[in-house]
Amino acid sequence: MAEGLLLVGCGKMGVAMLSGWLDQGTDPASVVVVEPTEALRSPLQARGVMAVASADDIPEGFWPDCIVLAVKPQMMAEVTGNFARFVGPQTQFLSIAAGTTIGFFEGVLGEQAAIVRTMPNTPAAVGKGMLVACANAHVTAAMRVRADELLSAVGAVAWIEDEGLMDAVTGVSGSGPAYVFYMIECMTAAGVDAGLPEELAAQLASQTVYGAGALAHAAAEDPGTLRKNVTSPGGTTQAALEVLMADDGLAPLMHRAVGAATKRSRELGG
């Protein structure tokens, strides 16, 4: 009977996911990690997790119900085939590799493999990620529940039925953290130009983005309503928004940015 969890790759995202699982009560003894870098394996063993260097070192008799593929997309073709022996009706493969399609995994593992493709983003490293998942026809309802539990350990989870939407997902949430980081950079620089010390400007920009995001997440109102709530007629916020909401302001720029990321995602996915 398939049971247990096999994590392949323990870089930043793999570590974040593993930490989330353990923090939520997953038994370390039920997890095996395949990670070729010894320096990354040692800390895992201290937490009671078995970490091995290759697929050949997985203990005989261990048969996972879920294999999480957390290696870089360019390494996926080389790595995935090593786990084809686990394909069966009790085991699903869950990939967090950007741009790597379900069709790719079916080509490597066989068309009968149960596969969940996900698109995470970097805030998953602090448990605040946005993860979007898409499953093939062999993923059962129980497997979806299992995948949802594993992914929700590092953030919010949404499911889509049309894998073609993954490119747009990449354009909004996959690449999105970089847009926000750049906004913080720009707000900081603008604050310095307005006369603030750089350290203070950076603190104001970073905390304001963090707080506004938390408020948008917690509030019952939509972002447009929240914006209007803090915009007094003729006030400072309105003056700034007249610039940001101009015909050549933030909206068309963001449309072009997301469109460019979506287009590039399609190109990379072949």
pLDDT in tens, 87-114: 999 999 999 888 889 999 999 999 999 9
**Euclidean distance between CA atoms 67 and 86, whole angstroms:** 9
pLDDT in tens, 5-54: 999 998 888 988 899 899 888 999 999 999 999 999 988 888 899 999 99
pLDDT recorded at residue 1: 45
DSSP 8-state assignment for residue 43: H
pLDDT recorded at residue 68: 96
Question: Which one is predicted more confidently, 268 or 149?
Answer: 149
Whether residue 69 is found in the same domain as residue 133: yes
Whether residue 104 is found in the same domain as residue 233: no
For 251, the token pair is 């909206």
Domain ends where: 119, 139, 169? Answer: 169
AA identity, residue 16: A
Cβ-based neighbours of 236, under 8 Å, separated by 6 or more: none
Question: Which one is predicted more confidently, 122 or 160?
Answer: 160
pLDDT in tens, 182-216: 999 999 999 999 999 999 999 999 999 999 999 99
149 CB-side CA count, 13 A: 14
Q: Which residue in the block uniquely carries the two structure tokens 């009671």?
A: 48
Strands 114-119 and 129-135: antiparallel
Calculate mean pLDDT across residues 122-136. 93
Which CATH number fits the domain that encloses residue 220? 1.10.3730.10
Whether residue 126 is found in the same domain as residue 191: no
AA identity, residue 171: G
pLDDT recorded at residue 2: 53
Per the structure, the count of domains in the chain is: 2
Residue 125 domain boundaries: 5-169
pTM value is 0.89
Domain ends where: 169, 189, 211? Answer: 169
Whether residue 54 is found in the same domain as residue 157: yes
Whether residue 194 is found in the same domain as residue 111: no
Strand partners, 88: 91
pLDDT in tens, 58-73: 998 899 999 999 998 8
Please state the separation of Cα 113 from the chain's center in Å: 23
Which CATH number fits the domain that encloses residue 87? 3.40.50.720
Q: What is the mean pLDDT of the chain?
A: 93
pLDDT recorded at residue 72: 86
Calculate mean pLDDT across residues 110-127. 93
Whether residue 131 is found in the same domain as residue 224: no
Whether residue 113 is found in the same domain as residue 85: yes
Inform me whether the pLDDT recorded for 74 exceeds 50: yes
pLDDT in tens, 245-255: 999 999 999 99
